[in-house]
Structures are given as structure tokens and as C-alpha cells.
Amino acid sequence: MTQPPHPSRCASHLLPRGEKDGIDRRALLAAPLAVGTLAGCDRLAVAEPTPPTVPPLKSIAPFPIGTAVMAGHFDDPAWVALARAQVNQLTPEWEMKMEYILQSLDRLTFDAPDRIAAACEREGVRLHGHALIWYSQGEQAFSGFDRTHFGRAFDRYIAEVAGRYRGKLVSWDVVNEPIAEDGNGLRDSHWSRNLGDDGYMIRAFEQAKLADPEAVLFVNDYNLENNPVKGTTFLRTVERLLKAGAPIGGLGTQSHLDIEIPAGQISRFMRDLGSFGLPVHMSELDASLRRERGGDFRSRAQRLEQQRARVVELAEAFMALPERQRFAFTIWGLRDSDSWLRRDNRDDGKDQPLLFDDAGRAKPLTAAVAEVFGRG
């Protein structure tokens, strides 16, 4: 197991002290056959093969295994038991972002991220900070400034937030999702309009480095495997920022996978991403069974096979990176029911994008990923 950049005590548990220490792995790993019923256009669902007993992912992966967390999860014993068994790194799903912290520029709220940081600190579980600067947040609070005051407020926010968690986390997503949606160039945002297209990113990394010199500083984006144009623009942007002296310490690919992309696309991108020699964070894996484009006549078995094939390709591509570059493999939620994809208005309640089912049981997909990680 690679050692995290920060000295990390071995994770004892995420349960409050005094809880029994045993893990009832059978309860976690038992995956009774879910024999589907005749429903809608899904013909009689085929009974799921019971996956072989799957050892905890964090114990077989030669790198940290992460998941997204919300402060409220620590009040759910089932979530805590599953997280304690399976992962050794956490990423706040939303409560370390401006939308939670920045009530206004002179009123910052830290109760939830502090609770998450305290849980990680107490249990020796790594904390990955997410996200300091994101195009989609902060516009209202930062509006009304002239450029000078905008820059000062920008610096002050990063200093305050990254400074607060210095020594409590191992890394930050300093800039999240800077590439345009279609992959052609950079996103236009209040950050780029006030501080320059590359300027705001270089400044964010410089300020984060000042606030927390030990943290690994990531730039993080999505659809990089799904859309080769966007992936290439991301790589070119990283190259340009590094040349400009931005202290980028790691590269995050979110991997919200489109399971219908051609085989090989993921592997090619991961190989190119690794060519910088920097730590790579596979930062937000989920693999929706839904097709956003409508008109989906695939059977459930076909969708599950596509999902398995792409997630295995991703796991293999990550495993193929040099050990020192395998920062962490983070799944964007533990149980399917924890997924953001199950909280949006397009959800039909049937999506199964993650590695554990609604009851926290391993799935055939879990076994497939575990087999790849077990190749060591």
C-alpha cells in the first residue's frame, strides 16, 4: 500500500469510539440474488449472479480508495460501517465548496467541513479537499468588486479556507472544471473575466500553495475520457499552466463515465494523463446505466455489461500508472442510493452507478474491480 503524503495512522474506525470493532463482513458482502420482476420494457430481469465474496477494497488496492462524504453520513451507522470497511480517503461532496462555506464574503460557515475534517483526523482517514475555485459557484458573493478588490477577496478566501485545513488534509481540488463543456477552450466564468483565463488558475494555485505548502494541489475535470477533445484541451491546459509556473501537484480526472464510449478511449486518456509524471486522482467515479440522449432499448444485462467493461478498463488504466502516480481511486458515493445521480429529476430510481447496492452490498461490479486491484 503506498504511503499517503501525510503520515497517516492506520484507520481504526469511523464509528464513534467505544463501538465494537468487529466488521460483520458477511452482512456487507452478502449479495442475495435479486430476482427481477416483470416491469415496463425491462423483460423479466435476469437474476444477478451472486458475486464471489469481495474483500474490502482498501485492503486489496495498492493505493488509497476514496468516496464522497457529507457530514450527515456520520449519523448513519450503515454508511459508517461500509466506509470504515472499504475506504481510507474521503472527499466532501459539497460542504467544503463555496456554496456551503461562503454565506457572504464576511461570513464563512465551517461547521460541516470541520466535522468531516475532525472525523478524518480522529480516525487517520485521508481527507481530500474539494473544491476551492469552481466556475459554478461564488459569483454572487464576489460581484460588485473592481478588479483589485476582486483579486484581494479571491486571495483571502483561499487563504482562509486552505489555511484552516492545513495539516488536516492531504490535497485540494484547487481549480475544478476549467475546460469548456464541449472541450473547445476554457470555460468563461466570473473568475476568468476578472483575473484572466489562465490568470485565475495560476493565482489560485499560488495562493493555495502559500496557504498549505504540504497539500498536493490538483486541477480536476470531467468527461475527459468520454470526450477526447475535452481530454486533449485539459492536457494542453495543464502543460501551459505548468510552463507558466503554476504549482500544480496533481491531476484529477473525475470519471463520471459514459458507459457507451468505445473501448480503449479511457486507457488512451489515462496514459496521456500519466505522461506528466504527476500524481493522478481518479476522483469521482460513477458509471450511470441511464442514457441521457433518450431512446434507450438496451436490456439491463447489456447496460450492466457495458458498465462492467468501462469501469474495469478504468481500473486497469489506473493500475497501469507508476505506483508513485496512483494518488487515489475515489468513487463518488458508496451505495447506489448515495449517488447524486439518484437525486436529480432524471432519475427513475433504478440507476446503479456505484460499487455497492442500496443496501451496501457488493455487486458483480465490485468483484470485477476488486479482481483488477488484486493483481497488485
Footprint on this chain of ligand G3I (rule: CB under 6 A): 93-94, 97, 99, 176, 222, 254, 284, 340, 343
Q: Of the candidates 162, 79, 87, 81, which has an alpha carbon nearest to the alpha carbon of residue 124?
A: 87
CB of 344 to ligand G3I, least distance (A): 9
CB of 254 to ligand G3I, least distance (A): 5
Q: How many CA atoms lie within 13 A of 172 on its CB side?
A: 32
Q: Of the candidates 71, 102, 80, which has an alpha carbon nearest to the alpha carbon of residue 17?
A: 80
Q: Of the candidates 370, 368, 334, 373, which has an alpha carbon nearest to the alpha carbon of residue 352?
A: 334
d(CA 70, CA 243): 36
Q: Of the candidates 185, 195, 205, which has an alpha carbon nearest to the alpha carbon of residue 132?
A: 205
CB of 157 to ligand G3I, least distance (A): 16
Extract the C-alpha cell encoding 86: 472499504
Residue 176's φ and ψ, nearest 5 degrees, are -110, 125
Nearer to ligand G3I, 154 or 222 (CB): 222
Nearer to ligand G3I, 276 or 340 (CB): 340
CB of 76 to ligand G3I, least distance (A): 13
Quick check: bond before 131 cis, omega within 30?
yes
> Catalytic pick from 48, 93, 225, 284?
284
Nearer to ligand G3I, 28 or 237 (CB): 237
> Catalytic pick from 95, 177, 225, 313?
177
Residue number of the CB closest to ligand G3I reads: 340
Nearer to ligand G3I, 91 or 306 (CB): 91
95 flagged as catalytic: no
d(CA 44, CA 127): 43
CB of 371 to ligand G3I, least distance (A): 27
d(CA 172, CA 174): 5
Extract the C-alpha cell encoding 107: 461570513
Nearer to ligand G3I, 123 or 221 (CB): 221
177 flagged as catalytic: yes
Extract the C-alpha cell encoding 146: 473592481
CB of 292 to ligand G3I, least distance (A): 13
Q: Of the candidates 128, 68, 56, which has an alpha carbon nearest to the alpha carbon of residue 333?
A: 68
Nearer to ligand G3I, 94 or 110 (CB): 94
Whole-Å CA distances, 68 to 126, 190, 281, 360, 373: 12, 27, 13, 15, 20
Residues annotated as catalytic are: 177, 284
